[in-house]
Amino acid sequence: MNKFLACGVLFMIAILGWLFWPTNAVPILAYHQVGEVDEEIYSVTASQFEEQMKYLKENGYHAISLEDLFNSYTGKTVLPEKPIVITFDDGYADNYLTALPIMEQYGMSATVFVVPSLIGTTDYLSWQQVVYMQERHTEIGSHTMSHVGMNEINAAEQRREAAESKVALERNIGTPIQFFAYPYGQFSPGAQQIVKETGYRGACSGLAGLNDAKTDSYALKRINMPQPKYGLWEFRLRLFRAHLYSKLGL
Ligand SMILES: [Zn+2]
Ligand 1 centroid – CA 7 distance (Å): 50
pLDDT in tens, 230-248: 999 999 999 998 888 777 7
Q: Phi and psi for 172 in degrees, rounded to 5?
A: -85, -25
The pLDDT of residue 8: 81
pLDDT band for 18, please (50, 70, 90 cuts). Answer: low
Q: Phi and psi for 249 in degrees, rounded to 5?
A: 70, 30
Ligand 1 centroid – CA 32 distance (Å): 8
Which has the closest alpha carbon to 206: 195, 193, 222, 217?
Answer: 222
Rounded to an integer, the average pLDDT of 17-28 is 78
Ligand 1 centroid – CA 71 distance (Å): 26
pLDDT of 85 above 80: yes
Ligand 1 centroid – CA 208 distance (Å): 16
pLDDT in tens, 120-154: 999 999 999 999 999 999 999 999 999 999 999 99
Higher pLDDT, 2 or 28: 28
Helices (H) and strands (E) in the chain, counts: 9, 10
- Report how far residue 191's alpha carbon sits from residue 170's, in angstroms, rounded to the nearest whole number: 21
Mean pLDDT across the chain: 93
Ligand 1 centroid – CA 197 distance (Å): 22
Ligand 1 centroid – CA 150 distance (Å): 11
Instruction: Give one DSSP letter per residue of 134-193, joined into a string.
Output: HHTT-EEEE--SS---GGGS-HHHHHHHHHHHHHHHHHHH-S---EEE-GGG---HHHHH
Structural domains in the chain, sorted by start = 24-247 (3.20.20.370)
Ligand 1 centroid – CA 8 distance (Å): 47
The pLDDT of residue 219: 98
Which has the closest alpha carbon to 143: 30, 39, 67?
Answer: 30
